[in-house]
């Protein structure tokens, strides 16, 4: 965004809370942190030269490699001189008469801006863990989402992990390699598939580089912005053996989007979904030797794929190791953290290190932890008291000239987020250019257009099984958060088309003052 805004000849300043660039990939340095979208697709497409010069070493890049890539981009485009690091934005307050925003930071700075663009991410506000006694813990307490840059010494330690989402599932096998003992506190089992990560075949990388434009074009036609073969039949109309063979192929593919895409109705029909869910459950039973542990790890009660599917390296197999214990918190709930460790209703587990992998206040959290006030002093928090509403996930009525990259109501977290970020950046940059060329002072959504889009986002989600899971997609992981399905499930191609049509129709649904 900074690069594009500079290209428009506007003056721009970026504020970043971290002491370095990278966002998610700056903070989440836990062992095993890596992407689960193939590196060649999870990368910028805006400059063919950049594509050619960067070499990815693995199919799924690790956190350090992605961070190096982002740092490379920051240096290559000389971005750092306009980025203020180590500085958190505290408030963004509109002065409507002057048509500008006052932005204040925790460094005590106040700047004025005609346009404010949030690029605060969807999974950057850690969720309060809602666990009593954390402060009393005498050992080392760490969080996957703020893992110390110089690492944590786990060798010979009794380590506990709370949380079995993507972060927990990625880190648990690596923590088990180092720790003397590992106790995993699991509340809800997740569906996890093997990543089958490997060094990137140089021939594959060469091929991609030779035909990158073609590959990028194909990515934009993919529903999730990730290349995957899409089936054309119902899971219920094929022979069970053929279906299992297809799921097995997907299991071996290392693509988390493969099973959901294998038949047309995995995500819309409970019976079709159950065939996929049961396949994964069968694999868990095959891998985990102790039947009780296998059963405790088996996800039930919510459809496959309606919580973010995890990709792992040796996750289920980790529970076959002698020094690894699974504690099923549904059977023996967590009572509190104590100075010595974790107390459940049945037992106290002594620990030296406790790892929180307890997730995020997703999508809206990063925006609402800033004090954003629009026209007439209306707080974004109040405007969204019943849940977020936004036109295309790009702008909110009553907040003129405020743009939200990957805002609620856009594909964001249910897509290859780099694809979605780039599309928002392009759309916003083009909008700024248009406003300037046409002498428009301010843009904001028409409230009716915004309400209609919010209804559409809801309707598309309601036609799927997604709302049946108590996921962070609907805010269910944060007590008291309104239950609204936040990302747009209509797919990347349809969403891009809608955004383009709005522009072609002279910013239809927006009010230009
Ligand atoms: O967070 P999560 P995450 N007591 O919310 C448990 C992306 N990501 O950081 O389900 C006990 O998924 C909670 O249990 P429950 C990806 O989009 C991507 O792992 O609420 N347990 C759950 O098990 C992902 O979906 C990558 O019952 C508590 C866990 O903590 C998203 O980030 C890697 C608890 C939280 O899981 C978030 O993933 C990592 C409590 N009080 C993340 N509170 C890749 O690219 C919470 N839990 C691979």
- Mean pLDDT, the chain, rounded, equals 98
- List the helix and strand counts (H, then E) for the chain: 17, 20
C-alpha–C-alpha distance, residues 287 and 314, integer Å = 10
pLDDT band at 264 (very low <50, low <70, confident <90, very high): very high
Residue 198 backbone class (left: φ over 0; alpha: ψ -120 to 50; beta: rest): beta
Report whether 86 contacts 101 (CB < 8 A).
no
Measured in Å, residue 189 CA sits from the centre of ligand 1 at 11
pLDDT in tens, 359-372: 999 999 999 999 99
For residue 222, the number of C-alpha atoms closer than 13 Å in the C-beta half-sphere is 23
Report whether 323 contacts 182 (CB < 8 A).
yes
Measured in Å, residue 24 CA sits from the centre of ligand 1 at 14
| Nearest residue (CA) to ligand 1, atom 11 | 187
Pocket-forming residues, ligand 1, beta carbon under 6 Å = 35-36, 123, 129-131, 162-168, 170, 187-188, 308, 311, 329, 334, 357-360, 413, 472, 477
Concatenating the DSSP letter of every residue in 67-78 gives HHHHHHHHHHTT
Task: Report the C-alpha dihedral over residues 52, 54, 60, 66, rounded to 10 degrees.
Answer: -140
Rounded alpha-carbon distances, angstroms, from residue 31 to 124, 146, 148? 18, 12, 11
Concatenating the DSSP letter of every residue in 314-352 gives SHHHHTTSTTEEEEETTTS-EEEE-SSEEEESS-EEE-S
Average pLDDT of the segment spanning 412-419: 98
pLDDT in tens, 186-224: 999 999 999 999 999 999 999 999 999 999 999 999 999
- The pairing of strands 324-328 and 181-186 is parallel
C-alpha–C-alpha distance, residues 27 and 124, integer Å = 9
pLDDT of residue 481: 98
On the 0-12 / 13-18 / 19+ scale of CB atoms within 10 A, 367 is: buried
Ligand 1 atom with the shortest distance to the CA of 144:
9
pLDDT of residue 134: 98
pLDDT band at 494 (very low <50, low <70, confident <90, very high): very high
H or E element at residue 15: strand 14-15
Concatenating the DSSP letter of every residue in 365-400 gives HHHHTSEEE-GGG-BHHHHTTTS---BTTTB-TT-T
Taking the CB of residue 368, how many other CB atoms lie within 10 A of it? Answer: 17
Strand partners for 140: 353
> Looking at the whole model, is its pTM more than 0.80?
yes
pLDDT band at 52 (very low <50, low <70, confident <90, very high): very high
| Nearest residue (CA) to ligand 1, atom 18 | 166
pLDDT in tens, 327-359: 999 999 999 999 999 999 999 999 999 999 999
Measured in Å, residue 164 CA sits from the centre of ligand 1 at 6
Ligand 1 atom with the shortest distance to the CA of 190:
23
SS3 of 441, please?
coil
C-alpha–C-alpha distance, residues 77 and 66, integer Å = 17
pLDDT in tens, 445-473: 999 999 999 999 999 999 999 999 999 99
């Amino acid at each position: 965004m900074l690069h594009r805004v500079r290209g428009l000849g506007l003056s721009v300043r970026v504020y970043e809370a971290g002491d370095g660039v990278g966002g998610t990939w700056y903070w989440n340095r836990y062992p095993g942190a890596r992407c689960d979208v193939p590196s060649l697709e999870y990368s910028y497409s805006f400059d063919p030269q950049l594509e050619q010069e960067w070499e990815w070493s693995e199919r799924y890049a690790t956190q350090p490699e992605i961070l190096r890539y982002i740092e490379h981009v920051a240096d290559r485009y000389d971005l750092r001189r306009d980025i203020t690091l180590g500085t958190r934005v505290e408030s963004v307050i509109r002065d409507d008469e002057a048509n500008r925003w006052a932005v204040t930071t925790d460094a005590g700075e106040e700047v004025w801006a005609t346009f404010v663009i949030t690029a605060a991410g969807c999974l950057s506000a850690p969720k309060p863990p809602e666990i009593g006694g954390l402060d009393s813990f005498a050992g080392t307490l760490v969080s996957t989402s703020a893992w110390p840059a110089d690492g944590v010494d786990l060798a010979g330690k009794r380590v506990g992990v709370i949380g079995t989402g993507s972060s927990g599932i990625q880190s648990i096998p690596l923590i088990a390699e180092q720790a003397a003992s590992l106790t995993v506190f699991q509340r809800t089992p997740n569906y996890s598939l093997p990543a089958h990560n490997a060094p990137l075949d140089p021939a594959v990388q060469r091929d991609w580089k030779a035909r990158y434009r073609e590959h990028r074009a194909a990515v934009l036609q993919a529903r999730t912005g990730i290349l995957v073969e899409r089936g054309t039949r119902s899971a219920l109309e094929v022979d069970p053996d053929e279906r299992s063979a297809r799921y097995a192929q997907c299991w071996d593919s290392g693509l988390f989007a493969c099973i959901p895409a294998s038949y047309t109705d995995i995500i819309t029909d409970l019976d079709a979904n159950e065939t996929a869910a049961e396949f994964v459950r069968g694999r868990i039973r095959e891998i985990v030797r102790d039947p009780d542990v296998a059963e405790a790890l088996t996800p039930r009660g919510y459809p496959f794929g309606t919580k973010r599917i995890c990709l792992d390296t040796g996750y289920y197999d980790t529970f076959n190791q002698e020094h690894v214990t699974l504690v099923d918190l549904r059977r023996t709930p967590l009572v509190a953290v104590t100075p010595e460790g974790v107390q459940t209703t049945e037992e106290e587990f002594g620990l030296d290190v406790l790892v929180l992998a307890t997730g995020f206040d997703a999508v809206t959290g990063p925006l609402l932890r800033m004090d954003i006030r629009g026209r007439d002093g209306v707080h974004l928090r109040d405007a969204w008291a019943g849940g977020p509403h936004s036109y295309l996930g790009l702008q909110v009525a009553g907040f003129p000239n405020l743009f939200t990259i990957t805002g609620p109501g856009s594909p964001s977290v249910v897509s290859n987020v780099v694809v979605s970020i780039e599309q928002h950046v392009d759309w916003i940059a083009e909008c700024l250019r248009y406003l300037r060329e046409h002498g428009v002072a301010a843009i904001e959504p028409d409230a009716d257009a915004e309400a209609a889009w919010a209804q559409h986002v809801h309707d598309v989600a309601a036609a799927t099984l997604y709302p049946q899971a108590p996921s962070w997609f609907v805010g269910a992981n944060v007590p008291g958060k309104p239950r609204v399905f936040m990302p747009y499930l209509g797919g990347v191609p349809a969403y891009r088309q809608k955004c383009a049509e709005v522009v072609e129709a002279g910013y239809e649904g927006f009010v230009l003052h």
